[in-house]
A and B are shown apart, each in its own frame.
Chain A
């Protein structure tokens, strides 16, 4: 009779993909998502480790395989330091589609945040995420599932936005909310099957991290500002250490649609108001109330870091004075020392 442990092992081994005929050697499983599993493999030709993403289950219709291939093609087009590069795409002997990408050594954003990094470090990381998302937006692509589990923090503090499996391509050269085609991870020109199109009204993403229009299934209103909402939620998460909305399923969707996010000032005593305002503007219920792009979110955070006024917050004259003093305190100190020296010379140099 087999022990539970032995049975579990056999089950795990049976689940492993057969990489015969590829140049990859399986090392271990890294994680499993909704439709695919990621494995650590060794690229025998190049002698390096890589991450291989393959459909978790057989795909007789080919629809899911088409999506995964579409995701690989999409990622291959997005060449950016904060996006994971794709090395290869192919099909396993059992017909399942896979693609191979860079193996990122590091940890997920949620694990990184759990270690309570300094605020300045967290803000720097956030601006890198904004840059990656802004780059994708410039290519006409919306991620639609930005959340801590989809962001990796590398060994040297680099941020990598992962899992573009439900990304969406906007109408070319519009910059408007209009959509030409709603294909999950889809680039029609890349040959996605028609079945890969997301049905109108379908709810795509992770409920607790969705924008209200996404939670309502309003696929026609999805645009760059949908990702801006997720960036606002991510900023909230980085600052507070907890997501603005929690839970799963219908309950989470209802909260995202109807409830205001918790006030950051209540969660983080002493948090600078401009930072709370940036997160709140990012998470405005209506897209018109948010930043127009990820670039604008990142730029506002950078302005805060540089001691400059931010777009999301109108400061009082006292706050402006305090900010200017904080930014120039070294200069003020040097001038005070200069004046003190002048006075001391006048007093003691016998003039």
Chain B
């Protein structure tokens, strides 16, 4: 499986699980559908971007760092634009797991994804 496709698959699954964990927060119960869709979408985009970059990287630590950075940035965007009905923001709860999901996707893409075919000039 190519790295971007693998990244999207893993990112979507982990994003879905990440979104489902919001059930532990009664304050956001009315937003669950949006949270799950948004989290899954965030995982998809993180996976696609990480897989895309993993094709160009030649180092596992760099692959993980790249996933971590992409996960962090996307989670920051989501956290900064998604207050609950009472106006509270969930930076820690969204950014920390979101970044870790990115790191996991980065590792998985680098380690298990099929490298792109070499092209000759």
Contact = CB atoms under 8 A, between A and B. Distances in A.
Given A349-B92, A351-B24, A331 B100 contact: no
Given A345-B93, A345-B97, A349-B93, A334 B24 contact: no
Interface string B86-119: 0000001100110011011001100100000000
B81 to A, nearest CB: 20
Contacts of B96: 341, 345
A98 B100 CA distance: 65
A11 interface: no
A335 B97 CA distance: 10
B21 interface: yes
Contacts of B108: 331
Contact of B92 (A328, A331, A345): A345
A313 interface: no
A338 interface: yes
Interface in A201-258: none
A331 B107 contact: yes
Contacts of A335: 104
How many chain A residues sit at the interface, stated as a range, is: 10 to 19
A348 to B, nearest CB: 10
Contact of B97 (A331, A342, A351): A342
A312 to B, nearest CB: 24
Nearest to B10: A331
Contacts of A345: 92-93, 96-97
Given A330-B111, A349-B93, A341 B100 contact: yes
A346 interface: yes
Contact of A338 (B27, B100, B111): B100
A261 B108 CA distance: 41
A337 interface: yes
A328 B108 CA distance: 9
Contacts of B111: 328, 330-331
Contacts of A349: 92-93
Nearest to A346: B24
Nearest to A327: B111
Interface in B15-34: 21, 24-27
Nearest to B104: A334
A213 to B, nearest CB: 40
Nearest to B94: A345
Given A341-B100, A342-B97, A334 B92 contact: no
Interface in A309-347: 328, 330-331, 334-335, 337-338, 341-342, 345-346
Among A334, A337, A349, the most chain B Cβ lie within 10 Å of the Cβ of A334
Contacts of B100: 334, 337-338, 341
Contacts of B92: 345, 349
Nearest to B68: A334
B43 to A, nearest CB: 12
Interface in A3-19: none
Contact of B21 (A330, A337, A342): A342
Contacts of B93: 345, 349
A338 B104 contact: yes
B82 to A, nearest CB: 16
Contacts of B103: 334
A227 to B, nearest CB: 29
Nearest to A328: B111
Contacts of A328: 111
Top 7 A-B pairs ranked by shortest CB distance?
A: A338-B100, A334-B104, A351-B25, A341-B96, A345-B93, A346-B24, A331-B107
Interface of A: 328, 330-331, 334-335, 337-338, 341-342, 345-346, 349, 351
19 contacts: A331-B104, A331-B108, A334-B64, A334-B100, A334-B107, A335-B104, A337-B100, A338-B97, A338-B100, A338-B101, A341-B100, A342-B21, A345-B92, A345-B97, A346-B24, A349-B92, A349-B93, A351-B24, A351-B25
Given A338-B104, A341-B96, A341-B97, 6 more contacts: A334-B64, A334-B103, A342-B97, A345-B97, A351-B26, A351-B27
